[in-house]
Amino acid sequence: MHPVSLHRRKGKTVNQPETEKVAMLLDIINSSDNIVFFGGAGVSTESNIPDFRSANGLYSQRAKSHFSPEEMLSHTFFMNNTEDFFDYYKSNLIYKEARPNDAHLALAKLEKQGKLKAVITQNIDGLHQMAGSKEVLELHGSVHRNYCMMCGKFYTLDYVLESPGVPKCDQCGEIVKPDVVLYEEGLDADIMEKSVQHIENADVLIVAGTSLTVYPAAGLVVYYSGKRLVLINKSPTQYDQKARLVINDSIGETLKACI
């Protein structure tokens, strides 16, 4: 199967015009009531949240210390250098003023229309829920959920941000840990299983804003056996040749045009 692709260069389109590409995606969406969306960091960049691996991403910016971002966001670093972890985490992974963009809003509308069955996301920003989506499977957790490591008491993002240094439980005094998956930590088995079920049952799978290189999350695509895989990403992925439709353009503009 040869995917139909759109590439934008210096404001011009190569191959088929953008309007034709959007029309094809619109036809796919209109003809299905079992769509699953799988998104990565690129979904939130239009909300001014930087991604990780692009030229201007988080991982291209060296931390103030000699540790790499991957090291500072690891379970080992969290346990051994907790105060430094929270200093880096609060400064680089929290974007409290961010708001849903056109992609988040379009997906929420599709769910309300009964077409979209689930959003599976690698993002931890909670923007899908803010936009109104209900069935959101957060593979890497959420900055909006925080729990005491001892007694399990729940804390809000504001509590973590307003705590000087390391946030501590006001009930037992133990560290309050963000409910995000750090390096060296496994993904939630129940969320992974539910994600697999949604993808296996999907008629249409739309994958957007992810390079599909980070495992095990990227491996979820192999569970889709349908014929209508849609990829929306600024750069090529390893699954481009398996897709029915590949669009290398803005996720927000593309999805908004289909609503």
Task: Give the H or E element holding residue 104.
Answer: helix 102-112
pLDDT in tens, 31-61: 999 999 999 999 999 999 998 655 555 655 5
Q: What are the residue ranges spanned by the domains of the chain? A: 1-49+100-140+187-259
**Contact (CB, 8 A) for 122 and 140:** yes
List, for residues 116-132, the tens digit of each pLDDT value. Answer: 999 999 999 999 999 99
Q: For the structural domain made of 1-49+100-140+187-259, what CATH number should be given?
A: 3.40.50.1220
Burial of 18 (0-12, 13-18, 19+ CB in 10 A): middle
Name the pairing type of β-strands 229-232 and 204-208.
parallel
Contact 101, 46 (CB under 8 A): yes
Tokens of 205: 């799978």
pLDDT tens digit sequence for 80-113: 999 999 999 999 999 999 999 999 999 999 999 9
Percent of the chain at pLDDT > 90 equals: 81
Show which residues are catalytic.
140
